[in-house]
Amino acid sequence: QVQLVESGGGLVQAGGSLRLSCVASGNTLGNYAMGWFRQAPGKGREFVGAIRWSDGSTNYADSVKGRFTISRDNAKNTVYLQMNSLKPEDTAVYYCAATTVLVLRTNPSSYNYWGQGTQVTVSS
């Protein structure tokens, strides 16, 4: 099993940047894919992006391509979500997730483990 701890959320002005971190512990991560999701008030959980731990392959939602970047640090067992050119519509609770399914799926139901979520607020 895997335990995930998120950090890095906060308040930022439109056009600014934030970097979210997710520290993973437990089973080896070599067999896992890691995903980022977000949920705005009154809306469902939306796929943001994912990374396969073994080779670093990534997949992004169209809404964030060119602005957000997912990366990993093997030594720190940490995945990052670098968010640039933030817009007010990016405001949401952001979640880190992990799955043993190695295909980079976009469906939240494919992920077995979840962090607690961290609030990102983008002001105009």
Give tens-digit pLDDT for 27-61: 777 778 999 999 999 999 999 999 998 899 999 99
Contacts of 76 (CB under 8 A, 6+ apart): 23
Q: Residue 14 to residues 17, 18, 55, 84, 122: CA-CA distances in angstroms? A: 9, 11, 33, 10, 6
Mean pLDDT over the full length of the chain: 94
Could you tell me the pLDDT band of residue 115, with boundaries at 50, 70 and 90?
very high
Give tens-digit pLDDT for 71-90: 999 889 999 999 999 999 99
User: CA-CA distance, 21 to 9, in Å (whole number)?
Assistant: 9
Residue with tokens 């483990």: 113
Report CA 81 to chain centroid distance, whole Å.
6
